[in-house]
Structure 1
Amino acid sequence: MALPLLLALALLAQPAQAQNRQIGERPDATPPFSVTEVARLESPWAMAFLPDGRMLVTQRPGGLFLVTQQGDLTEVANAPEPHAQGQNGLLDVALAPDFDTSGLLYLTYTAPGRNGNALTLVRARLTDAPALEEVTELWRQDPPGGGGHPGAQIAFDPSGEYLFLAVGDRTEHDRLPDPDDPRGKILRLHLDGSVPADNPMAGEGGVRALTWTTGHRNPYGLAFAPDGRLWEHEMGPRGGDEMNLIERGANYGWPLVSNGRNYGGSDIPDHVTRPDLHAPALWWTPVIAPAGLSFYSGAMFPEWEGAALIGGLASQALVVVQFDNGVPNETARYYMEARIRDVAVAPDGAVWLIEDDVDGRLMRLTAE
């Protein structure tokens, strides 16, 4: 057999993760829901539901708001003041696993500094005022700097013991190979910011001690599925948006490989050329520009039970990914005529979306 064919067969025989490509534009599905605009905010970015059905919503330029189901807005005092420019600002918000008793929540934002903005994770207590008290910085990007691609996603493991933080490449992907630089990594921390003893490099200190996975570009979705597995999605360059199963110590390839191409049109080696690196379980070309990730559980949309709900920026869609024996596949795409920044499931099973716009809508989806 010719050498090129032998090489190709050898690569395909390696134990890389299976890839499931979504080819081209998907036909829009008929939505099984009605859409209600509930409120508008200035460039809203993320939301988190309180047990009573109210929600916390961040604004990227700054400002944390408590929002009722009816759309009444109350600003929460003492929220961090971000460096807000481009993709940077006040970003994710997540309730602590023991929020019911502790009142604690977590926020990510790009903090201003003389040497450049730095992605930062803080913990605070929400009071009835409403206000944040006991605001405590748990982690800050060092070295700082970066033009965008913050990542900034927070997820808690099912046991409620660990916090996972996704850090984007900050548009400085040449720095990703440095194990002492947090860019392009998913970090794993205790809820107080300390290092878990069973992290892959826990004994090495600094960024290495917190690193769980590497090789990420711009992760805008991070969540645990009902089966306890951690999933992440990230934007590719020109094509090659990815959905990845996150596994301890793995390298997901950026910037060495991608199923997309550079914006200038030059080639990037595909994942199949590097079977030693983790390939995506699912990928999109053309891109959907994924943002926000929530696994559905509720009575309102039983057909979505256990499915991943993903917002699409470029695709202006709500994307539904379902799993067959643990293998993901896009099963529906609903055109929303808006760039969707975040997706969340309310206690009553309704699905809520954030529109990515200066005058961004907060929308509730309910069954027809």
Structure 2
Amino acid sequence: MVYAATYVHPVDYAGYLPAAIGNAGFFLLFSCAVAAISSAIEIARLRRSGMIAVPQARSSNRTMIAVLSKSVVGALVVQVFGIVWLIVSYPPVGGDLPWIVIAMYVTVIAFHAMLGALLGALLPWVVAAAAALTASYCWLGFTQAMPFPAGRYLSGVIVVQCCTVDTALTPGPIAVTVAFAAVSAFLFFALVRTLVTTARSRRRRRASVVLRVLTAWVAAILVTLLLPITQTYTPVQDRTDSELLCDGTAPRSCLFPEVAADGTVRRTIDTMWTNLTDLGLTVPPDITGARGDSTPESVHMAIRAGMTPSEVVYSFTSSLLPATGVAYCDESDYQQRQTAAYVAELWIEEKGGHGMDIGAIQTQAHDADGEYAPFRTVPIESQVHWVTATLPILGTCDRPVPAFPTS
């Protein structure tokens, strides 16, 4: 829980079930370690006892499955605890359960269990346990640190920080990870079975199986790395506009169900739009809580479930400013544009948030070159005229920024 509280931030998953399930991938560091260490110890003891070589009622396959299943189940309990802890801490208000991610967790844990079992088949149990922990951590860390996206699909941590409320998980790339982990688990199981049940005197058979398994595993790695669908950093895609829930006419706000559930975001948007337009500022009547650049006809905001009014006001304000930032034309002009952008931002936040419980605007802390305080004293018509003229040209070098009005 301490680990999750440190590295898993509620802003990454609160209010959206797919994001909560995806961020539980952080717990693979623990569940995979449990699977690897437990399997290494169990197989090392089984090999040392010689039980699997003794004729029994059930086959060696069933004996090994019975032993290793305990390790897998124990690791799954750790992973489920992580999922439940995230969901209970900040209950999601919507989103479908991503079963493909659940399948991925199961197969990845099984793969690490077989990795530990392989080390248990080769080393004494104390050494095998330490080696299994190291191998599990190194595999997760190595695949995550690869300099190209496809390497991430060799582990299950690809879905951590996976998605915002306006995106959804893409099943195809995740299915590749499921397939790779399942194939790896099967190959390592076959290798462990051969090493444990085949007499050491039959070196040729053991070597033949080792060579075939490693060849197949390398082939599985190469296929995973070269597939076109594994060339994206994170397996997400934009949600469709058909999922948006639209309400009103002026303004007309379109939000995803998870955001629109409590009504706070929509009310804040409506109030802010009304405040600004009542002052005479032209604001597009269509507001969409989804990815995209704002246009003269519509505003696209960064939205998540559970946002406070102050966060909505800040997001709305940012959406009215240039998406690419302030244009750099020359040294002196750039400083002037930066100052103008800060003043416009503070003005929109203050005027748009009027009448809402968003906390005081910290004008002294954020005042750009001391320009905002005198700007507030000029007639409101002059303020609106300056903001209206300034916003469209902050992101271009076509025209200089208008001078601040004076009283």
The structure whose residues are more often strand, as a share, is 1
The structure whose residues are more often helix, as a share, is 2
TM-score (norm 1): 0.23
Q: Which of structures 1 and 2 has the bigger CA Rg?
A: 2
Ranked by relative contact order (alpha carbons within 8 Å, sequence separation 6 or more), the top structure is 1
